[in-house]
A and B are shown apart, each in its own frame.
With several copies, the nearest count.
Chain A
């Protein structure tokens, strides 16, 4: 069993990367790997609650599902605060269940403890 970290920088819908990350994370989790996802820059919008896309899969729900499966999904506090997702005890009221706003140092920790790192970005 290994540890995989995925870094995202795009918001939902604008690119395929949120959905691709979901597919990779889900496959890795099903094979009992540990999976971290770090939401950076625009990607802090991925877990916003209340998304209702008419033509795409709901990114918020996909990532809530990953969190339920045990994937650690954490967002950059600088990016999230700038964009109006205020960290209140590490939890944004705007977010779906299970996603935390933590610290950029957590990204460094994720990198340190990971066997593999995947960056998906435009």
Chain B
């Protein structure tokens, strides 16, 4: 299992690289902490935006990964005024689960 711990905003170049690696990993599990929780904002399409997203080819996290494979840190969501809103699981024991998943036999951890 490939675990991606993402701590940066959607516009950060490291996030874009992370998503490209994700896209070629079938069994990805994504942990969002810090500014990574901004990746839960909005959806694939923006209704009535001033212009289209700069790069149509870049798919957002919530389009790439099913909600049950995204976990987000509650305190980071709350601080930033973001609701997971059915787009991610928000466990009470975020860091415990992260450690269990990443230390599990056969898993890999990538941090962006």
Contact = CB atoms under 8 A, between A and B. Distances in A.
A touching B, CB within 8 angstroms = yes
Interface of A: 2, 4, 16-17, 20, 23-24, 26-28, 30-31, 33, 115-120
B111 A28 contact: no
B7 interface: yes
A116 B96 CA distance: 15
Contacts, number: 44
Contacts of B35: 16
Nearest to A35: B99
Interface string B64-103: 0000000000000000000000000000000110111011
A27 B111 contact: no
A31 B34 contact: no
Nearest to A30: B96
Interface of B: 5, 7, 33-35, 95-96, 98-100, 102-103, 108-109, 111
Which DSSP category, helix, strand, loop or mixed, fits chain A's interface? mixed
Contacts of A120: 7, 111
A74 B108 CA distance: 24
Given A20-B33, A23-B95, A31 B109 contact: no
Contacts of A2: 103
Nearest to A3: B103
A119 B99 CA distance: 14
Nearest to A2: B103
A16 B36 CA distance: 12
